[in-house]
Amino acid sequence: MAIIGPGGRPVTSGNGKEPAAAASAYIKDSSLATFAADVLEASREAPVIVDFWAPWCGPCKQLGPVLEKVVNEARGSVRLVKINIDENQEIARQLRIQSIPTVYAFRNGQPVDGFMGAIPESQVRAFVQHLTGGAAGHDHAEDVLAAADEAFAAGDMATAAQAYAHVLQDEPGHPKAVAGLARCYLKSGDTERAKQTLQLVRPDGAGDEAIRAVEAELKLREQAAGVADRMSELLAVLQAEPDNHQARYDLALALDAKGDREAAIDTLLEIVRRDRKWNDEAARKHLVTLFEAMGPTDSRTISGRRKLSNILFA
């Protein structure tokens, strides 16, 4: 066990650095600025283990990987937060950390258990089992997927992709995780990686709604290739030829490629209104692909389907 002297510096020390927290949806590094959110608030949803370590601490390098392994295997029933005391001496002072490694466990915003020193893996497992009431190892894939979806919606592609990948590590081929990771690649513009990712889905998940949605999105990207830069040209053509359905169809593709999906839907609906049979019902079929890509609960899908029905059955 390494002893901390005055000012937070080691009395005895090793060399090298402990590896950064492993890429995991359940493990993160924290600091004074984020401690309240990462530990106190997070512990109201699941127990949070806090590992106080330092780069110069040899025992920390023994304990850290063991903690990460056991926490990852717990699949969300417990979280791990790592605090480098060299960079966060105020936290160490407030919590009266006298030696490292020191591990505290928090639940509902309060410390409830802990230990000091690099204990064996068997003891770490017992510690986690006691903390979780035996729930460690329970499948929390849905919780991780929900967190990944939240991160995706917030535009945090790195966190989302990491969480989707973690589910796939535990459950290879999980359709919603495959679809989520593929969507992350699509969002970054890497359609090839998105296609490759879709191939990872297990056989029984190929028809999953989330997989179909990404496949539809890929189809839309491919169809829109080459028209995104023709917006002005297509608008000019339609100004002169309002019944040029091909130009209007291409305009819908261009609008969608530019991110204006609602305008693309309205443009396709206008084709259906003017000539629903045009080009073997190409506009209606493309609308169906758009609805599938967005999913049945998307407000644009609901509105678009209602407008399409009003036109078709008026």
Alpha-carbon distances of 78 from 47, 130, 139, 158, 161, rounded to whole Å: 5, 11, 12, 22, 20
- For residues 71 and 90, what is the distance between their CA atoms, to the nearest angstrom? 26
Lookup: tokens for 242: 């309002």
**Which homologous superfamily is 228-312 in?**
Tetratricopeptide repeat domain (1.25.40.10)
Lowest mean pLDDT among 52-66, 163-177, 209-223, 274-288: 163-177
pLDDT at 167 over 70: yes
95-116: pLDDT as tens digits: 888 899 999 999 999 998 889 9
pLDDT of residue 32: 92
CA-wise closest residue to 48 among 124, 108, 120: 108
Confidence tier at 140 by pLDDT (50, 70, 90): low
Q: What is the pTM of this model?
A: 0.55
Domain 142-221 and domain 228-312 have a common topology: yes
- Element of type H or E holding 104: strand 102-107
Instruction: Give the architecture-level CATH label for domain 2-132.
Output: 3-Layer(aba) Sandwich (3.40)
Mean pLDDT score of the chain: 87
Given the residues 2, 4, 27, 60, the one annotated as active site: 60
Residue 184 appears among annotated catalytic residues = no
- For residues 153 and 217, what is the distance between their CA atoms, to the nearest angstrom? 16
pLDDT of residue 19: 41
Return the CATH fold of 142-221.
1.25.40
Residue 60 appears among annotated catalytic residues = yes
pLDDT at 73 over 80: yes
The domain locations on the chain are: 2-132, 142-221, 228-312
Given the residues 25, 46, 57, 80, the one annotated as active site: 57
